[in-house]
Structure 1
């Protein structure tokens, strides 16, 4: 009986150690997930002439071989870009959060982590965070020899509010 009791105590102890290790690994994973949510540095605050609210841009180095501009924008809750267009279009890869995107003449679309948005060449559009949740996006603008962006007027509060 003593051997069985010692054996059970030993098994429980090992299980306890294993459970503690699992908890530590889960905590490390959660910590890692929190740090990996911010893939790139916050970058420079976008000027108020081009953004409503707080948006920060971190641009990647331009490469003359690929003639592509790319970067990351962090939109804080409620922040959004002005209306704008790109001579060669734009691709957005949403890496975190929830936000909105609108191509002129179309309804406001909700965008979220994992979405890919294609903005056609020379078509007015805007994008930004939802009112309560921020948005992170990678932007890609190809064929920069044609130009990068044509900034226009601010998106009004009425335009920003998605139609229900």
Structure 2
């Protein structure tokens, strides 16, 4: 997939900008539009079990390119999640489908829905994944990879994962 196609896909998902009110289509509208059902990108490689709990799949959106190797679609099966980790230059997550969780260390778990945008600040310890009963897909943008991509930490405990209120 080229960068133009990626930008077109992001535009179709109508991500909100900071300061804009969040608007979501009514559930009934989503249920009647088959084009909004299911993940935007296919599952591809199984993510390493050393860094994830449950079934997680990574689909690089720009393959065999040293400059733009930092954009992937990530799909989490229900209950699957990343381990705690940090990104030296930060990370942007664009939620493309499903329902999931995001948590920064010391903060409550946040619910993620299609269209949400997460900006994980550089060096901030966090995790993300699917809800217990519904899968989650997102595009992961790792920026300024010359500073490093990710530092993996310990698994998210069941108590941490189940703390969403």
Residue-pair matches, total = 133
Give the corresponding residue for 1:44: 45
Partner of 2:82: 81
Any gaps of 5 or more consecutive residues in structure 1? 1-28
RMSD across aligned C-alpha pairs, in angstroms? 1.7
Contact 1:99–1:135 (CA<8 Å) still a contact in 2? yes
Deviations 1:13-37 (A, max 9, x none): xxxxxxxxxxxxxxxx855444xx3
Q: Which structure 2 residues correspond to residues 1-150 of structure 1 after superposition, within 5 A?
A: 30-34=33-37, 37-61=38-62, 63-65=65-67, 69-150=70-151
CA distance in 2, matches of 1:95, 1:88: 22
- Please say if residues 40 and 97 of structure 2, whose CA atoms lie closer than 8 Å, have aligned partners that are also in contact: no
- Secondary structure at the residue paired with 1:159? helix
| Partner-residue secondary structure (3-state), 1:121 | coil
Cα deviation, residue 46, structure 1: 1.3
Counterparts in 2 of 1:113 and 1:154: CA distance versus 1, 3 Å: same
Return the offset for 1:162: 2.6
* Structure with a larger share of its residues in helix: 1
SS of the residue 1:162 aligns to: coil
Structure with higher Rg: it is 1
3-state SS in 1 of match to 2:140: strand
The TM-score normalised by the length of structure 1 is 0.75
Contact 1:68–1:143 (CA under 8 A) maintained in structure 2: no
Contact 1:68 1:140 in 2 (8 A): no
